[in-house]
């Protein structure tokens, strides 16, 4: 029997393009999920660049939306023709350059690429501000240094979320959190830092390029600011069936870091969140500017422009997933068919039986370069001494620790060198799906209380839907922090785990070995990944 029909004017649709999945989430007036749709995809390694094809972007979005629409028809006996608001989010950073006719000038260069070292290093010195390799401005400057032929034709540079939003609405704008991963933001003016844009404009002039930075970057918008409406062409891009009607309001498009902050109610100072899936990053909302310039850290913003320190690591669970899959093959060979959820539950829970220091085992989960660890390239590596305690429990714990280890390198700078204090970290993503395990080990690794909400499994697409709802339903002058506290999370249950001293001490010993072993990882990558 169909469910009671929701008030469609009070719904909000969030679409997020993640590293391995494109997901659409529709929420109702109570911010709970009404319907979802998802499409799996993978990046491609082509001509020395990690990329996604733009046709795959639209095929994935359309598939996810079609699945969501089918759920709506099944549950409510009605087609989806209109929603109250829409928001798009995606992987941050990267390089999507277009000419004045809207043609893509190069294949999309994603955040995963670590080919902009000279540009990032030079800009960091020039700006006295950390510019990571994956930032859009680093990609642009590296293309300038390489004298790539397309650069003089550049008319618009944006992120993946900004591109999708532009195609759906015609607006060349970006949520301020996503914009802060393109170029440094001034949290007072809620725009790009004018002193640094002037510095970069001098570089453009030196290279005799016919544009200035303000003319090619999307306009940054704070959360709650109207960001256009769905055009007729955009409606057909999103829903080729023609059922979805144009005119639906959009909120500013955001990056996956911003949607993670919204989804975990981590937008106020002294709060933070850690997102752990294909990649891993932690966000800490700051009370004051950092004293030093640390290349291991990103300085970005919340969706409403507050300063945030982010530690971003390129790889988290990919290697762990590979090993779990191998153990699943062994179980099938023995005649035991385990569902993926049961396999991961067994693997994770076994890790809690391991020695706090993993018994001397080490694993490096690097599928690509890892700037936080100082590695330009990487490859997965498991190693042990002959006298290490090789047990399944230690093996499982080692791979969970490996997923957190690079994050620990960056977070130590915040906590030890800068004296940043957090009341808690909110955990979300695949690492936290198995109850307790990832949460407990992360608390011990970072020595910070880690909380998981009952809504943590909804993730970034749900956070994007919340930002869309905030844009059209907030009270006058109501802050994002207040909206989330009062309207969204007031009755949400929270599971909080304090660090276990034994876990913390064991992880510190593991990290002592891990830091020393980085030389082995570096040598292995240089040996086995060198060009013939």
pLDDT in tens, 11-64: 999 999 998 999 999 999 999 999 999 999 999 999 999 999 999 999 999 999
Summarised one tens digit per residue, pLDDT across range 54-111 is 999 999 999 999 999 999 999 988 889 999 999 999 999 999 999 999 999 999 999 8
Beta bridge partners of 375: 370
The tens digit of pLDDT for each residue in 278-314 reads: 889 899 999 888 989 998 888 999 999 999 998 989 8
Residue-level pLDDT at 275: 84
Distances (CA, A) of 205 to 149, 210, 324: 17, 8, 52
* 205 Cβ contact partners less than 8 Å away, ≥ 6 residues apart: none
What local confidence, expressed as pLDDT, does residue 458 receive? Answer: 64
Place of tokens 């023995």: 334
Is the Cβ–Cβ distance between 238 and 83 less than 8 Å?
Answer: no
The mean-pLDDT minimum among 218-222, 291-295, 476-480 falls in 291-295
CATH topology of domain 8-263: Nucleotidyltransferase; domain 5 (3.30.420)
Instruction: Kindly report the length of the chain.
Output: 532
Average pLDDT, the chain: 94
Q: Which of 180, 275, 270, 173 is nearest to 225 (CA)?
A: 173
* Predicted pLDDT at 336: 96
Confidence category of residue 158, pLDDT binned at 50, 70, 90: very high
Range list of H helices, 367-428: 392-412
Q: Spell 222-237 as b/e; 16+ CB within 10 A means b.
A: bbbbebbbbbeebbeb
H or E element at residue 14:
strand 12-17
Is the separation of the CB atoms in 14 and 464 below 8 Å?
yes
Percent of the chain with pLDDT over 90: 85
Lowest mean pLDDT among 1-5, 78-82, 178-182, 482-486: 1-5
CA-to-CA distance for 23 and 61, rounded, in angstroms? 8
Q: Compute CA distances 442 → 13, 173, 260, 409, 450, whole Å.
A: 31, 36, 17, 13, 7
pLDDT band at 368, cuts 50/70/90? confident
Task: Give me the pLDDT at residue 371, please.
Answer: 82
Structure tokens at 511: 């990290």
Residues 376-392: tens digit of each pLDDT: 889 999 999 999 999 99
pLDDT of 192 over the 50 cut: yes
Whole-number pLDDT of residue 502: 97
Residues 6+ apart with CB under 8 A from 498: 443, 449
| Residues in CB range of 207: below 8 A, 6 or more apart | 144, 151
| Residue 90 · residue 255 · CB < 8 Å | yes
Confidence band, pLDDT 50/70/90 cuts, at residue 455: low
- Dihedrals phi, psi of 179, to nearest 5 degrees: -60, -30
How far from 383 is each of 362, 441, 524, CA to CA, in Å? Answer: 5, 21, 11
Rounded (10°) angle between helices 392-412 and 437-446: 50
For 243, list phi and psi in degrees, rounded to 5: -70, -40
Is residue 532 very low, low, confident or very high in pLDDT (cuts 50, 70, 90)? very low
CA–CA distance, 518 with 511 (Å, rounded to integer) = 10
% of the chain at pLDDT higher than 70: 98
Residue (of 231, 259, 260, 81) closest to 166 by Cα position: 231
Q: How far apart are CA 6 and CA 41, in angstroms?
A: 31
Residue where the block lists tokens 């276990």 = 500
Q: What distance in Å separates the CA atoms of residue 319 and residue 116, rounded to the nearest whole number?
A: 25
Q: 258 with 175: CB under 8 angstroms?
A: yes
- With contact defined as beta carbons under 8 Å apart, do 332 and 283 qualify? no
Residue 59 tokens read as 């095929």
């Amino acid at each position: 029997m169909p469910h009671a029909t929701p008030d469609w004017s009070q719904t909000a649709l969030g679409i997020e393009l993640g590293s391995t999945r494109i997901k659409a989430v529709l929420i109702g007036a109570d911010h709970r999920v009404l319907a979802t749709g998802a499409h799996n995809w993978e990046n491609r390694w082509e001509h020395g660049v990690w990329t996604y094809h733009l046709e795959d972007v639209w095929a994935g979005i359309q598939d996810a939306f079609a699945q969501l629409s089918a759920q709506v028809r099944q549950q409510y006996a009605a087609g989806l023709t209109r929603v109250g608001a829409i928001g798009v989010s995606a992987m941050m950073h990267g390089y999507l350059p277009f000419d004045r006719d809207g043609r893509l000038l190069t294949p999309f260069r994603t955040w995963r690429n670590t080919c902009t070292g000279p540009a990032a290093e030079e800009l960091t010195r020039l700006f006295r501000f950390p510019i990571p390799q994956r930032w859009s401005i680093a990609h642009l400057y590296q293309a300038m240094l390489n004298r790539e032929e397309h650069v003089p034709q550049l008319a618009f540079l944006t992120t993946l979320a900004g591109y999708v939003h532009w195609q759906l609405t015609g607006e060349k704008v970006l949520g301020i959190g996503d914009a802060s991963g393109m170029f440094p933001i001034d949290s007072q003016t809620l725009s790009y830092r004018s002193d640094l844009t002037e510095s970069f404009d001098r570089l453009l002039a030196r290279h005799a390029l016919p544009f200035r930075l303000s003319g090619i970057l999307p306009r940054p918008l704070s959360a709650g600011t109207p960001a256009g409406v769905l055009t007729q062409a955009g409606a057909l891009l999103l829903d080729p069936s023609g059922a979805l009607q144009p005119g639906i309001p959009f909120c500013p498009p955001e990056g996956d870091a911003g949607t993670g902050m919204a989804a975990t109610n981590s937008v106020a100072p002294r709060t933070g969140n850690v997102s752990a899936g294909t990649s891993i990053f932690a966000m800490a909302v700051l009370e004051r500017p950092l004293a030093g310039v640390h290349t291991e850290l990103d300085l970005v913003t919340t969706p409403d422009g507050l300063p945030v320190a982010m530690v971003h690591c390129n790889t988290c669970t990919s290697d762990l997933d590979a090993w779990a899959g191998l153990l699943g093959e062994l179980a099938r060979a023995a005649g035991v068919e385990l569902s993926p959820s049961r396999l991961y539950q067994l693997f994770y829970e076994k890790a809690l039986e391991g020695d706090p220091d993993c018994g001397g085992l080490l694993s490096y989960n690097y599928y690509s370069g890892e700037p936080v660890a100082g590695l330009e390239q990487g490859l997965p590596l498991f190693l042990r001494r002959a006298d290490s305690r090789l047990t399944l429990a230690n093996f499982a714990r080692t791979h969970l620790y490996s997923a957190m280890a690079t994050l620990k390198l960056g977070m130590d700078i915040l906590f030890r060198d800068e004296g940043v204090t957090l009341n808690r970290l909110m955990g979300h993503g695949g690492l936290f799906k198995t109850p307790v395990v990832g949460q407990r080990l992360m608390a011990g690794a970072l020595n910070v209380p880690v909380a998981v909400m009952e809504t943590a499994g909804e993730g970034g697409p749900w956070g994007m839907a919340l930002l869309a709802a905030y844009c059209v339903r907030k009270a006058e002058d109501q802050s994002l922090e207040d909206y989330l506290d009062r309207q969204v999370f007031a009755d949400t249950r929270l599971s909080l785990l304090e660090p276990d001293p034994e876990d913390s001490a064991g992880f510190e010993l593991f990290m002592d070995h891990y830091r020393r072993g980085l030389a082995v990882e570096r040598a292995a990558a240089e040996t086995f990944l060198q060009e013939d």
